[in-house]
Amino acid sequence: MFEGFYKVRFQLGQAVGRSVMSARDGKMLGGNSAFAHIGTYQKTGDEVATEIKTVRHNPDPNYRAMAGTDDATLIAIGRPEGELYRFKGELKELPGVAFESVMTPIREDEIPIAGGVGESGIVDGLYSIHIRMLDGVDGGLTGVMLLNKGRILGGDACFYYLGSYTAENGRWKGQILNQEHTSAMGEHPIFGGHEVGIGFSGSYDDESAVLDATALAGKRSLRLTAVLKLMRRA
C-alpha cells in the first residue's frame, strides 16, 4: 500500500531538502518550511508515477528554491524497497538534472483518532502554517498542515505533526503532537530534541484559520499563536 503519511528526503543535483507528504486517494499533499508540494499519483503494480508542483508559502528569501524558481513541476517514478519508496525523475524546468527521493512512512498507529466536525466545519485541505512564539520568546516555525475530517497531519523540514480537532460554526480546538523526523537542535533549539504536546483553540473561515496554543517542550510551557492559509482543498 502506497497510501499513508511520510517523511521525505530529496535531492536535486547536489542540493538536498526534506519535507513531509500525505498520499491518499490519488493525491499527494505536503511540504516543508517554505514550499507546499501539491500533486497526484497513479499506481500500476509496484510502480508509482507522480507529478508534483511546488508552491511557495514563505516569502523569506533565506529559503531558496532548489530549482531556481518558486513554481516547479516534478515528474518522478517510484518503487518500493521494503517499507520505503524510492523515486527518480526530473523537474520540467531543469531537464537533465537528476532528482531522487526517499519516502519513509510515519507509523499509522501514532496518528490519533479523528475529532468531530459539525455544522459549517473547517474546510478540509492543505494549509500553510506560520507559528510565532509569545511572551517575549524569540522564534517560530513555518510548515504545512493537512486538515481532514478531524485529523491533523503536517510538518516541515525537521518536524512532523500528528493531531486531532473538533470544529463547528467558525470555532475549532484540538491537540497536536510535534516530533522530530530529522534532528533540529541547531536550527530550532526551542522544539528541537523534544516531543512537544500542543493544545489549541481558535477561529476559521473558508480560506484561513488562526489559533492560540500552549506547548509543553520538555519542562517549558510556552504560549504561541499561528495563522493558517488554505492552499489546496483536499
Instruction: Give the pLDDT confidence of 99-126 residue by residue, as tens digits.
Output: 999 999 998 667 777 888 988 999 999 9
Distance CA 98, CA 73 (A): 13
Taking a C-beta distance cutoff of 8 angstroms, is the pair 56, 65 a contact? yes
Same domain, 222 and 120: yes
Same domain, 84 and 194: no
Same domain, 118 and 189: yes
pLDDT for the residue 10? 98
Alpha-carbon distances, residue 104 vs 5, 184, 230 (angstroms): 8, 18, 26
Same domain, 225 and 127: yes
What is the extent of the structural domain holding 64? 4-105
Read off the pLDDT of residues 25-84 as tens digits, 9 standing for 90 and up: 999 999 999 999 999 999 999 999 999 999 999 999 999 999 899 999 999 999 999 999
Read off the pLDDT of residues 159-216 as tens digits, 9 standing for 90 and up: 999 999 999 999 999 999 999 999 886 777 778 888 999 999 999 999 999 999 999 9
Within 8 A by CB and 6+ apart from 176, the residues are 152, 161, 162, 163, 197, 198, 200, 213
Same domain, 44 and 137: no
Same domain, 63 and 131: no
Last residue of a domain, one of 86, 105, 124: 105
Same domain, 97 and 132: no
DSSP state of 206: S
Which grid coordinates are listed for 55? Answer: 508552491
pLDDT for the residue 188? 76
Read off the pLDDT of residues 127-139 as tens digits, 9 standing for 90 and up: 999 999 999 998 8
Is residue 156 scored above 70 in pLDDT?
Answer: yes
pTM for the full predicted model: 0.95
Within 8 A by CB and 6+ apart from 98, the residues are 12, 13, 88, 90
Q: Provide the residue type at 22 as one letter.
A: S
Which residues on neighbouring strands pair with residue 82, listed in sequence order? none
Same domain, 89 and 126: no
pLDDT for the residue 115? 87
Three-state SS string over 60-124 comes to CCCCCCCCCCCCEEEEEEEEEECCEEEEEEEECCCCCCCEEEEEEECCHHHCCCCCCECCCCCCC
Same domain, 118 and 99: no
Placement of cell 528526503 in the chain = 9
Nearest to 29 by CA among 57, 63, 67: 57
Taking a C-beta distance cutoff of 8 angstroms, is the pair 165, 174 a contact? yes
- Name the residue with higher pLDDT: 1 or 133: 133
Burial status of residue 100 (CB atoms within 10 A of its CB: 0-12, 13-18, 19 or more): middle
Placement of cell 517523511 in the chain = 7
Same domain, 99 and 150: no
Q: How many domains does the chain fold into? A: 2
Last residue of a domain, one of 56, 83, 105: 105
pLDDT for the residue 107? 81
Last residue of a domain, one of 75, 105, 135: 105
Same domain, 115 and 228: yes
pLDDT for the residue 178? 93
Same domain, 229 and 116: yes
Taking a C-beta distance cutoff of 8 angstroms, is the pair 124, 233 a contact? yes
pLDDT for the residue 193? 83
- CATH number, domain with residue 213: 2.40.128.380
